[in-house]
Amino acid sequence: MTKEEKAHLDDLIGRIFTLAFELGTNVDELHREVREMRFNTEDKDLAAALINLEHAFFMTAQSINILKEQTRNAVIPTRKAPRK
């Protein structure tokens, strides 16, 4: 791995982590709103739809966690690769 490749990878990883953090924060805020709305409604059809929406938020959060994990894994070659 060249110095240029490492610098590019470091920049890319930083941007990915920033994106994942911002996405996670926004997803969490919206999820709380949906959950609060579900608890406050007496409409069973709306509550059922909101449960499905909560599940979608959960799946999105899982995807963000996978993105973070795989981004961390992308750093491993920089530790093992000889410097050129």
Cα–Cα distance for residue pair 66/36, rounded to 1 Å: 27
**Which pLDDT belongs to residue 6?**
84
Cα–Cα distance for residue pair 75/57, rounded to 1 Å: 28
Cα–Cα distance for residue pair 60/38, rounded to 1 Å: 19
**Sign of the alpha-carbon torsion through 65, 69, 70, 72:** positive
Ranges of each domain in the chain: 3-78
Q: Dump pLDDT digits (tens) for 27-79.
A: 999 999 999 999 999 999 999 999 999 999 999 999 999 999 999 898 887 77
